[in-house]
Amino acid sequence: MNFAGRKRRRPPSVIIVSLIDVLLVVLIFLMVTTAFKDTPAFKLTLPETSQKAPQSGVNDNPPLIVTITTNAPNFYLGKVAVTLDRLKAELTQRAKENPRLIVAIRADDQAAYGNVVKVTEAAQAAQVSEVRTFLKPGIKPE
Domain ranges in the chain? 48-52+61-137
| 77-128 confidence digits (pLDDT tens) | 988 899 999 999 999 999 999 888 999 998 888 888 899 999 999 999 999 9
In this structure, are residues 100 and 64 in contact, taking their beta carbons and an 8 Å threshold? no
Q: Tell me if the bond preceding 73 is cis, omega within 30° of 0.
A: yes
Is it the case that residue 57 has pLDDT exceeding 80?
no
Identify the pLDDT of residue 5. Answer: 65
pLDDT cut 90: percent of the chain above it: 27
Write the burial class of residue 94 (CB in 10 Å: 0-12 exposed, 13-18 middle, 19+ buried): middle
The 8-class DSSP code of residue 56 comes to P
Identify the pLDDT of residue 78. Answer: 84
In this structure, are residues 75 and 82 in contact, taking their beta carbons and an 8 Å threshold? yes
Identify the pLDDT of residue 132. Answer: 87
Mean confidence (pLDDT) of the chain: 81
**Can you list the positions of beta strands (E) in 43-83?**
48-49, 64-68, 75-77, 80-82
Identify the pLDDT of residue 140. Answer: 46
Binning pLDDT at 50, 70 and 90, where does residue 141 land?
very low
Helix (H, G, I), strand (E, B) or coil at 33: helix
| 21-37 confidence digits (pLDDT tens) | 999 999 999 988 887 76
Q: Residue 103 is inside which H or E element, if any?
A: strand 102-107
131 bridge partner residues:
103
pLDDT cut 70: percent of the chain above it: 76
Which CATH fold would you assign to the domain 48-52+61-137?
Nucleotidyltransferase; domain 5 (3.30.420)
